[in-house]
Amino acid sequence: MTDAMPIDTQEALAAFERRDRAFDGRFVVAVRTTKIYCRPSCPARRPHPDHVAIFADPAAARAGGYRACRRCLPDAVARDRAAVARATAMIAHADAPVPLAELAAAAGYAPHHFHRLFKRATGVTPAAFARALRRERAAQALHDAPRVTDAIYDAGYAAPSRFYAEAGALGMTPAARRRGGRGETIRWTIAPTSLGPLLLAATGRGIAHAAFGESDGALRRHFPAATIEPGDAAFARDAARRVATAEGTARDAFLPAPVRQHAFLAALRRD
């Protein structure tokens, strides 16, 4: 054990015993009898607890005389995390959808492997992550653009048909969104999540807005022409159900907070 250990020893051992991927990168597990260190999720047979040592990171394990497991490749965790973070940045800054092959090539992985890696780290596929960001841009563009057609292309859609295929996730028609929610009744609640308080607002059509760190005042800015009301008990229960589903999707806790938040929102609106 090192002084830099980020979690309690018993918690680390329990995570190792259940092969919990969420703890990969938070520590490594060394086996004294084999002189090998592993990720917590390593699929190898578990050694006797008396033969296990916990280290904060691979460097500490190597300094202790251990070598990396060739099965779970614990030294690759940081590289994998950096690759996913780069891919999310590529998706966020692209003017058009980025093909999986291009994302994988930039990261130095085969496409099928990177697809699994991305989903394991964020809880959603690269395509689902990209759709969530594109919808956020579309919502903002509908607020700013003079015409719906302008908003479609400003948001990065290649054609109106793709936009209208996904427009149901706006919670109202694009025209109503552009008019500030005129004619719509929007109900809202603040739901607690592992990433902080989440403002969740919906119409009878579905989620109209979801954001971390916002209050109902933000809704009045987004939808100045809509009727905005606090949700009732049934609405709060439905919000809690949606949040529980998104919480059940594993995410790498060491990814940047904005990436984890966008991934959470993508899981919340999973399609």
Task: List the catalytic residue out of 38, 117, 201, 219.
Answer: 38
In sequence order, which ranges of the chain are alpha helices (DSSP H)? 9-17, 58-63, 77-93, 100-107, 111-122, 126-144, 148-154, 160-166, 174-178, 216-222, 233-247, 257-268
Is residue 270 within 8 Å of residue 247, measured between CB atoms?
A: no
Which one from 69, 191, 199, 210 is the annotated catalytic residue?
A: 69
Distance, in Å, from the CA atom of 179 to the CA atom of 170, rounded to the nearest integer, reads 13
Pair type for strands 227-230 and 185-191:
parallel
Q: How far apart are CA 251 and CA 124, in angstroms?
A: 9
**Do residues 254 and 81 make contact, with C-beta atoms less than 8 angstroms apart?**
yes
Helix or strand run (H / E) with residue 31: strand 28-31
Cα 190 to Cα 52, 119, 221, 231: the distances in Å are 43, 27, 17, 10
Q: Cβ(98)–Cβ(107) under 8 Å? A: no
Active site residue 80: no
Q: Which among 12, 15, 42, 219 is annotated as catalytic?
A: 42
The reply to whether 70 belongs to the active site is: no
236 is catalytic: no
3-state secondary structure of 182: coil
Given 12, 52, 56, 72, the catalytic residue: 72
Is 169 one of the annotated active-site residues of the chain? no
**Would you name the residues annotated as active-site residues?**
38, 42, 69, 72
